[in-house]
Amino acid sequence: MNFPILSTLIFLPLISSLFILLSKEKTSNNSSIYISLFSSIATFFLSLFLWYSLDISTSEFQFVEEKSWINNFIKFKLGVDGISILFIVLTTFITPICIISCVNSVKVRVKEFLIAILILETFMIGVFCSLDLVIFYLFFEAGLIPMFLIIGVWGGPRRVYSAFKFFLFTLLGSVLMLVAIIMIYWLTGTTDITQIYEIKIPREYQNILWLAFFSSFAVKMPMWPVHTWLPDAHVEAPTAGSVILAAILLKMAGYGFLRFSIPLFPVASEYFTPLIFTLSIIAIIYTSLVALMQDDMKKLIAYSSVAHMGYVTLGIFTLTKQGIEGSIYQMISHGLISAALFLCVGVIYDRLHSRMISTYGGLVNYIPKYSFLFLIFALAALGLPGTSGFLGEFLVLTGTFQKSYLAAMLATFGVVLGAAYMLWLTKRVIFGVTNNSEIKNLNDINKSEILMLVSLAFLIIFFGFYPLPLMETFSVSVNSLINNYETAISN
C-alpha cells in the first residue's frame, strides 16, 4: 500500500487546526467545535481502519513510510506494530472525548483551546508512530508546548507554578535522552531503530545510555521520586488537559520503555531491573498512602495514577510475557479509567466549582446516573474483576511472581491500598451525608456527558470481559520483544 496512511493520521489534526485558526467567527465557536470534532472522529476511524488492516500475525513494523529528511543522517521513518497501534487508537479515541468535554468546561478562548488539543494530538500520534529516535524525540518534546499552554491558560489558580513545573521537569529529563540519542548515532551510524536492533549497541555503553533514556521516561511516567509535577499539573489543568495528561502523555514513557529501553539496551535493562522494581514498589505503596490522605479529588486520582504507573513499570521490567502484556493492558485500561475519573470530577467541578471531597456527599440521592457511572469507574480503578483494570494488574502480578516473591507481595499489598482510597473516595463523595445545600439543586449529567462517560464505561467493561481483541493485537509483538531480549542476554 503506497498511500501514506500514517502521515495522514499524524497531520490530519494539524491541518484541521489550521482551518480553525482561519475561521473568522467572533461570537460563537460552533463551527470550530464541529471542525475539530469532525476531524478528530475522522482520525479515530482512520486509526480503527489501521488497526483492522494491521497484520497481527507478525511483529514486523507495518505501513512503514520512509523519507529522507536530514541528509544521509536521519530518515523520517514511521511505522506501527501490534504494540503501538493500541496507543494510537487510544489517543484518537480520547481526543474527541476531550473536545466534547470542553464544550461544557471551557468558557474562554475556546478556539485556541481546540487548536492546542488538535496540535497535541498530532504530536502524540507522532510519538507512537515514529521509528526513528530523533523523530521520536521531536514529537515527544513538542507535546510540551501545547500542554504548557493548556495548563497555563485554562488552568486553575496555581496554574503558573504547575505549568512551569511540568515543563521544566519534563524538559530536564529529556535533554539527557537527546545526548544519548546523538551518542547512539555516533556509535551505530544511524538513528533508525529497526537498524539499531540489528546492529546492537556495545555492552559497555548500554548502562549509561539506558540511564539517560530512563531519566526522561522516569519523569514522564512519572516514577517516584520525580513524580511531584504530576499532582500539581493534574490539579491545575482543565478537565480535558487532565484527561489527555493521564490517558496518553503518561503512556508515552511506558511505550518508550518497551520500544527503546528494552530492545536497544537489553543488558542494561536486566542490570537495572532491581532499581526499577524498588522504585515501582515505593511508588505503588507510598503514593497509595499519599492518595489516602488527599482532600482534593483530582489530586487523589493523580496520586493513584502514579501508583498505577508503578504496576506498569514493574510489569515491563519483569521481562516476562505476562508482565509485559499486563503492563500494556494496564496502560490501555488506565488510559480509559483515569480519563473517565477525571471527566467525572470535571462534571461536578463545572457545576459547583470545587474539587474538594468535603464539598460533596450523598450525590447518589440527587444525581443517580452520574453516581452510577462514577461507581463503575471507581471499581474499575481498584481493579474489580470484570473491569479492564483487573486484568492488567493481575497479569503484572503474575509476571512479578516469576521474578521476585517479595516484590510481588508488596505490590499486591498496593492493590489493597488502592481499593482503600478508591472506596473511601466513593463513600465520601457518592454516598454519605449531604451537608452542602447546593448539591440538592444539581443537574444530572446531560447528553454530551452521558455520551462520553457511557462510551468509556462500555469499553472498560467490554475489555474486562473480553480482552482478546487487545491481547491478540500485541501478543506476537510482545513475544518477539521477549525473544530478542533473551537472545541478547544469553550472548
Partner 1 sequence: MINNLNIMLPEIFLSLSIFSILMIGVFIKKSFNIIFNLTSLIIIVTITIIFTSPNNEEKIFLDSFTRDAFSNYFKILILLSSLFVLNSSKNFIMDNRLDKFEYPIIILLSILGMFFMVSSNDLILFYLGLELQSLSLYILASIDRDNLRSTESGIKYFVLSALSSGLLLYGCSLLYGFTGSTNFDFIASELNKENTGAVFAMVFILVGLAFKVSAVPFHMWTPDVYEGAPTSITSFFAVVPKVAGLALLIKFMSIPFSNILLEWQTIIIFISIASMILGAVAAMIQKNFKRLLAYSSIGHIGYALAGVATGAISGYESAIVYISIYVIMNIGAFSCLYLLKKDGIYKENISDLSGISKKHPLLAISLLIILFSLAGIPPLGGFFAKFYVFVAVLEQQMYALAIIGLLTTVMSAFYYLKIIKTIYFDDSFITFDSTKNRIAQISIFASCTILISFFLYPSILNNLVDTLFIG
Task: Note the residues at the interface with partner 1 (CB under 8 A).
Answer: 69-71, 73, 112, 134, 137-139, 141-142, 144-145, 148-149, 152-153, 159-160, 163-164, 167-168, 171-172, 175-176, 178-179, 182-183, 185-186
Instruction: State the nearest-atom distance from the C-beta of 337 to partner 1, in Å.
Output: 31
Map residue 2 onto helix, strand or coil. Answer: coil
399 Cβ contact list (under 8 Å, min separation 6): 315, 318, 320, 321, 322, 323, 324, 326
Instruction: State the nearest-atom distance from the C-beta of 172 to partner 1, in Å.
Output: 5
| Gap between the Cα atoms of 307 and 324, Å rounded | 17
With respect to partner 1, which residue has the nearer C-beta, 149 or 407? 149
With respect to partner 1, which residue has the nearer C-beta, 158 or 440? 158
DSSP string, 323-363: HHHHHHHHHHHHHHHHHHHHHHHHHHHHHH---BGGG---G
* Sign of the dihedral through C-alpha 242, 371, 362, 387: negative
- Which grid cell sits at 399? 509476571
Map residue 294 onto helix, strand or coil. Answer: coil
Map residue 70 onto helix, strand or coil. Answer: strand
Instruction: State the nearest-atom distance from the C-beta of 195 to partner 1, in Å.
Output: 18
| Gap between the Cα atoms of 442 and 162, Å rounded | 30
With respect to partner 1, which residue has the nearer C-beta, 71 or 491? 71
With respect to partner 1, which residue has the nearer C-beta, 59 or 174? 174
With respect to partner 1, which residue has the nearer C-beta, 150 or 439? 150
| Gap between the Cα atoms of 281 and 287, Å rounded | 10
Instruction: State the nearest-atom distance from the C-beta of 267 to partner 1, in Å.
Output: 21
Task: Determine which helix (DSSP H) or strand (DSSP E) holds 10, and give its type and residue range.
Answer: helix 5-22
Look up residue 303 and give its amino acid.
Answer: Y
Contact between 96 and 37 under an 8 Å Cβ cutoff? The reply is: yes
With respect to partner 1, which residue has the nearer C-beta, 163 or 381? 163
Contact between 391 and 467 under an 8 Å Cβ cutoff? The reply is: yes
Look up residue 382 and give its amino acid.
Answer: L
With respect to partner 1, which residue has the nearer C-beta, 41 or 178? 178
With respect to partner 1, which residue has the nearer C-beta, 25 or 295? 25
Looking from the CA of 382 toward its CB, the CA atoms found within 13 Å total 21
175 Cβ contact list (under 8 Å, min separation 6): none
Question: What are the C-alpha distances in Å from 22 to residues 26, 122, 158, 163?
Answer: 12, 18, 32, 28
With respect to partner 1, which residue has the nearer C-beta, 165 or 299? 165
φ/ψ region of 383 (left if φ > 0, alpha if ψ in -120 to 50, else beta) reads: left
Instruction: State the nearest-atom distance from the C-beta of 140 to partner 1, in Å.
Output: 8
Instruction: State the nearest-atom distance from the C-beta of 182 to partner 1, in Å.
Output: 5
Instruction: State the nearest-atom distance from the C-beta of 77 to partner 1, in Å.
Output: 14
Q: Is the peptide bond before 202 cis (omega within 30 degrees of 0)?
A: no
Within 181-245, strands assigned E span none
With respect to partner 1, which residue has the nearer C-beta, 168 or 275? 168
Could you count the other beta carbons within 10 Å of the beta carbon of residue 73? 12
Instruction: State the nearest-atom distance from the C-beta of 186 to partner 1, in Å.
Output: 6
Identify the burial level of 24 via C-beta atoms within 10 angstroms of its C-beta, where 0-12 means exposed, 13-18 middle and 19 or more buried.
exposed
Q: Is the peptide bond before 368 cis (omega within 30 degrees of 0)?
A: no
With respect to partner 1, which residue has the nearer C-beta, 80 or 163? 163
Instruction: State the nearest-atom distance from the C-beta of 476 to partner 1, in Å.
Output: 32
Instruction: State the nearest-atom distance from the C-beta of 338 to partner 1, in Å.
Output: 26
Instruction: State the nearest-atom distance from the C-beta of 142 to partner 1, in Å.
Output: 5
- Which grid cell sits at 349? 467541578
| Gap between the Cα atoms of 445 and 441, Å rounded | 13
Instruction: State the nearest-atom distance from the C-beta of 452 to partner 1, in Å.
Output: 28
With respect to partner 1, which residue has the nearer C-beta, 146 or 392? 146
